[in-house]
Copies of this chain bind each other. A is one copy, B any other.
């Protein structure tokens, strides 16, 4: 099958090649959906073993990718690069997924109805998951492990600059599936550099049940626009921390500093700090010094500029900005209502936090801010699958339909209704 697929790809009929892979994935997905937990876990352990045993081959394939990528930017090359440590992290990631509880088959809410039937819901696999990603080869192993554990087949399309690495990892995944007597076509990596392959996959809504793009905004926008199946995605992470009148000064400084500076490039990093005049007066003098000492560029509203000489004037565009870097927008707002209104207007419904000791304000913020994560008295940086106990995440969704926020195994499943009776009929 792989032979055939490669042949077809070599013949440059990329549309037929993608269709072939998707058909094989769909067939495999029916086996995966009913596979026993122990068998799926065995496959994951065997994949981890193969990744360890084939380390030399993976590094050699990665060298070929790196050699061809020498003209790319250093940041891209760093993302592409594998070494012993990164392979070990990949192995650990796969083994962690094996340790997670199996979501498939879990029955919830089973209760008797007046008719005498019992009605409940059973968690089931979604089918075939398409993953479209950029240069990091570790996504190949991470995404495959999550899809597999949730009973799904996976169709993986990585960056063409990482193709040798991805195919070497794919061989390990295949070996693991075979060792567990699961269909080797349950995880397939597209072996073509033809950029048209993505477009062909996005049109196959009868074979691919959901698509997860992982990468830059350009990729995500393209996938959202073209996909004829549902997409699990997040676009922007314009996250806020709001310091309420009743904020504890110590917590406010600690949380606001951490939310911005713990990592700059992540989607759950704070991009705009909001504060009431009281909170700003109490917290800003030392907090803004801390930011400046950490090298953060500050852009504030008029009231913020009046409080600290190192703050530049913010423009309207700053309130919409996802900097993903050491820049912070700061705005003094009148009160909780104004903070919620600001977040509604400029936010991206990703992650927003309030710092307050006031019970009523915390309760209102939780109810009224419509973001995928709403936080009281903790850093926005906690909005993450591992921190939430999902074990690992395939992505963070800012959509409201289906999964929202960090998407782990559960987001890669659905539920069906089950009815248990003893001969009941409708009268």
Contacts and interface: CB of A to CB of B under 8 A. Distances in A.
B416 A370 contact: yes
A387 B426 contact: yes
B426 A124 contact: no
A382 B422 CA distance: 13
B425 A379 contact: yes
B424 A377 contact: yes
Interface centre among A377, A381, A405, A421 (most CB of B within 10 A): A421
Contacts of A124: 370, 400
B387 A414 contact: no
A33 interface: yes
Among A115, A388, A422: residue with most chain B CB under 10 A? A388
A343 to B, nearest CB: 12
A402 interface: yes
A250 B425 CA distance: 12
A418 B425 CA distance: 42
Contacts of A387: 113, 115, 117, 119, 426
Nearest to A262: B426
A421 B115 contact: no
Nearest to A413: B400
A307 to B, nearest CB: 23
Interface string A368-396: 10111111111101110001110000000
Contact of A417 (B251, B376, B383): B383
A424 B382 contact: yes
A210 interface: yes
Contacts of A400: 124, 126-127, 209, 414
8 contacts: A119-B388, A119-B389, A124-B370, A374-B419, A375-B420, A376-B420, A379-B424, A400-B414
Interface string A33-60: 1100000000000000000000000000
Interface residues of A, number: 65
Contact of A366 (B368, B418, B423): B418
A367 B34 contact: yes
A89 B102 CA distance: 45
Nearest to A420: B376
Contacts of A421: 375-378, 382
A92 to B, nearest CB: 18
A255 interface: yes
Contacts of A258: 425-426
Contacts of A303: none
Given A375-B418, A388-B417, A400-B126, A255 B117 contact: no
A105 interface: yes
